[in-house]
């Protein structure tokens, strides 16, 4: 699998410019400058032991917390048609993953839908935090730009046939894991029983992100659980509907400057202005990081203001 991922990275970086009438890398990088999504806060103080040949002293640094756009998660009907045009070549149809799953003439009124899903490293979050993280006032992203963490075309057994997740308790017990009223999280596959195309795509994006942000899941993917270190606290698993673990920023077909969790705070809408004609959608997944500037050889601990 790692070989497939490395090859896909090389392919995806070739088309940076993209189309003016589609989602491209330039638009994605620009979208990462959202103050609402960033939610930057000073949350505490870190303590460091700094020693020289003349003795040791305790130094302090501020502890900050903010969200970082780690992934671009695309959810789309037709295999090979990722709306992020620069990386669409990463997931072409293959012998086990061809075409889409919608067999109905009217997407807006049928209840069963199928969506492919790609979760790829966000170029804006990676670039911005790489440049600023050395200051100690910005945390470094745990994701790598353009890295394909999940491509559903490479996971046909799990994504198209729900094996083995169709037998999980979460998939068999109603209400066990739900994305609000929009749909169930399990089985984490491309099939959704939802008449609204936008909501179906959102449920699929939540499923893909849930897989990627954990280790040891029964899918073919590259996990994204960054490791904690002295003065660096990366996010844990995401939980649907919980804004303390993650937020979503809509990128396509309509770009938002703010972030929310599905199902958008529980507001019931038909999202008519967000329906994609070709069934392709994309969101940025933002997750919270905390960190502080390293000011000594030994980390003594931290104190939060709250």
pLDDT score at 265:
58
Contacts of 105 (CB under 8 A, 6+ apart): none
204: DSSP letter: H
Question: Pairing state of beta strands 55-76 and 116-121?
Answer: antiparallel
CA 24 to mean position of chain CA atoms: 17
**Which domain, by its residues, includes 127?**
2-304
pLDDT tens string 13-22: 333 333 446 7
pLDDT tens string 216-236: 999 999 999 989 999 999 999
Average pLDDT value for residue range 176-196: 94
pLDDT tens string 258-296: 999 998 755 557 788 889 999 999 999 999 999 999 999
What's the count of helices (H) and strands (E) in the chain, helices before strands?
A: 7, 10
Question: Which of 104-113, 250-259, 277-286 has the lowest average pLDDT?
Answer: 104-113
Domain count, the chain: 1
Q: Are 24 and 18 in contact (CB under 8 A)?
A: yes
Rounded-to-integer distance, Cα 17 and Cα 156, Å: 30
pTM value is: 0.88
pLDDT for residue 248 is more than 60: yes
pLDDT for residue 131 is more than 90: no
Rounded-to-integer distance, Cα 10 and Cα 172, Å: 40
């Amino acid at each position: 699998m790692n070989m497939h991922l490395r090859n896909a990275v090389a392919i995806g970086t070739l088309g940076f410019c993209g189309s003016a009438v589609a989602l491209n890398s330039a638009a994605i990088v620009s979208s990462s400058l959202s103050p609402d999504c960033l939610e930057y806060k000073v949350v505490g103080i870190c303590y460091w032991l700094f020693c020289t040949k003349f003795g040791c002293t305790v130094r302090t640094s501020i502890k900050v917390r903010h969200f970082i756009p780690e992934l671009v998660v695309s959810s789309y009907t037709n295999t090979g048609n990722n709306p992020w045009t620069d990386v669409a070549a990463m997931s072409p149809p293959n012998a086990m993953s061809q075409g889409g799953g919608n067999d109905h003439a009217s997407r807006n009124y049928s209840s069963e839908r199928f969506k492919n899903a790609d979760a790829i490293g966000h170029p804006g979050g990676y670039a911005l935090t790489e440049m600023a993280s050395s200051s100690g006032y910005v945390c470094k992203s745990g994701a790598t730009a353009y890295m394909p963490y999940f491509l559903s075309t490479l996971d046909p057994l799990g994504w198209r046939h729900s094996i083995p997740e169709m037998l999980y308790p979460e998939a068999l017990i109603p209400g066990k894991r739900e994305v609000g009223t929009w749909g169930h999280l399990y089985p984490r596959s491309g099939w959704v029983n939802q008449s609204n195309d936008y909501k179906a795509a959102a449920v699929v994006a939540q499923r893909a992100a849930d897989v990627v942000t954990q280790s040891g899941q029964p899918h073919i993917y590259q996990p994204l659980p960054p490791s904690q270190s002295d003065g660096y606290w990366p996010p844990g698993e995401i939980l649907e509907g919980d804004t303390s673990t993650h937020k979503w920023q809509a990128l396509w077909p309509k770009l938002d400057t703010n972030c929310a969790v599905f199902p958008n705070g529980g507001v019931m809408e038909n999202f008519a202005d967000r329906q994609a004609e070709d069934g392709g959608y994309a969101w940025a997944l933002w997750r919270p990081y905390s960190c502080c500037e390293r000011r000594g050889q030994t980390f003594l601990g931290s104190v939060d203001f709250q």
